Amino acid sequence: MTTTTRPPVQAPPDRPDQPVRRKGIASRTPRGFYWMVLPAFALFFLLHTVPVLQGVFFSFTDSPGYGPWKFVGLSNYAALFTDSRVLHSYLFTFQFALVSTVLVNIIALAVAVALNARIRFKSTLRGVYFIPYVLSILVVGYVFQYLFTFSIPAIAQAVGNAKFSTSILSDEGLAWIAIVVLAVWQAAAFNIVLYLAGLQTVPAELYEAASLDGATAWKKFSHITFPMIWGFFVINMVLSLKGFLQVFDHVVAMTGGGPGTATESVGLVIYKGGFQGGEFGYQLANAVVFMIVIIVFALVQFRVLQREDVNA
């Protein structure tokens, strides 16, 4: 009986543009919402998902990037594990990314704590430390390349230091350190701001209480500050590592992968082999492995760091 008196609910609208919202917004999704997400979804699918799927697909082929191709099963993947250039690029990338991640986070956290302390010229100093964020890595890389090629050897010669009187960029064993310096210099800026944001969330009362108890600065940091910003630390570690594993611009600017292939990162090998070396299918297999590695790294990091959190 009673239901017949409420026609608007059951009758679908004849005209789609006419919004039916008698029963409040929770009852059905206004059509507008679908139109808001549809173009974005379509474009994202076309420009992101399709290329990823294509990449996975062609990783099982011998395609050079043009012309005919055929399926080769897993042989691209098998070949990767015996390709010394690829294996070395992974070693370099891991070494670079791990060292850079640790250094960036230590330095950025230390600078952020100092910038958050009672110092003079606070906003000016913050402004200065944040400058690298707005600079192009490639352009800064060229500047650092000059620094490492000419300035540092010149200084080393002047003070009579033999070790650094030649450019470390031309030393197979040391060139990676220069790239770490550039990466840390550039990335610290952003991480400093993230840590500053974290430090703002620590209540001042805790420090006051600690001061009354006579805690030292280090005690305050290790017992109050660090545990309180643990969440920021986890996020920064994960994002830094993920970013550094994909290192590309730094290497292009500083060494181009040299000397020889000593500083080729995975991204650079994929780029060089895929675009210039006719290894489209093969480097796509490399890229698929690389994607898995990055995801595994992120998951492991979250796991480990979150477990630490429980213990702390």
Residue 99, interface with other proteins (CB under 8 A)? Answer: no
Residue 242, interface with other proteins (CB under 8 A)? Answer: yes
- Cα→Cα distances 297→97, 102, 244, Å: 11, 15, 12
Residue 106, interface with other proteins (CB under 8 A)? Answer: no
> How many of the other CB atoms lie within 10 Å of CB of 228?
15
80, 104, 108, 284: which one contacts other proteins (CB under 8 A)? 284
Cβ proximity to other proteins, 78 vs 138, nearer residue: 138
Residue 132, interface with other proteins (CB under 8 A)? Answer: yes
Would you say how long the chain is, in residues?
312
Residue 88, interface with other proteins (CB under 8 A)? Answer: no
Q: How far is the CB of 132 from other proteins (least distance, A)?
A: 6
- Residue 304 CA to residue 289 CA, distance in Å, equals 22
Q: Classify residue 202 by its DSSP letter.
A: S
Residue 142, interface with other proteins (CB under 8 A)? Answer: yes
Q: CB neighbours of 306 closer than 8 A, spacing ≥ 6?
A: 234
Query: Among residue numbers 288 through 307, which ones bind other proteins (CB under 8 A)?
Result: 288, 290-291, 294-295, 298, 306
Ramachandran sector of residue 170 (left: φ over 0; alpha: ψ -120 to 50; beta: rest): alpha
Q: Which one of the spans 3-11, 77-85, 169-177, 276-284 is the region binding other proteins (CB under 8 A)? A: 276-284
Residue 165, interface with other proteins (CB under 8 A)? Answer: no
Q: Which one of the spans 78-86, 96-104, 167-175, 245-253 is the region binding other proteins (CB under 8 A)? A: 245-253
Residue 274, interface with other proteins (CB under 8 A)? Answer: yes
11, 119, 162, 212: which one contacts other proteins (CB under 8 A)? 119
Does the CA dihedral 3-5-6-12 come out positive or negative?
Answer: positive
Tokens read off for 198: 């974290």
Query: Among residue numbers 194 through 233, which ones bind other proteins (CB under 8 A)?
Result: 194, 196-198, 200-205, 228-232
50, 74, 106, 300: which one contacts other proteins (CB under 8 A)? 50
Tokens read off for 49: 């998902």
**Contacts by 307-311, CB closer than 8 A, 24 or more apart:** 309/230, 309/234
* Residue 153 contacts residue 166 (beta carbons within 8 Å): yes
- Residue 235 CA to residue 195 CA, distance in Å, equals 10
Cβ proximity to other proteins, 37 vs 78, nearer residue: 37
Q: Which one of the spans 6-14, 77-85, 127-135, 164-172 is the region binding other proteins (CB under 8 A)? A: 127-135
6, 13, 23, 37: which one contacts other proteins (CB under 8 A)? 37
Pick from 91, 145, 31, 130: nearest CA to 263: 91
Q: Which amino acid is at 288?
A: V
Q: Which one of the spans 6-14, 96-104, 150-158, 170-178 is the region binding other proteins (CB under 8 A)? A: 150-158
Tokens read off for 100: 């850079």
Query: Among residue numbers 16 through 35, which ones bind other proteins (CB under 8 A)?
Result: 19, 21, 25, 29-34
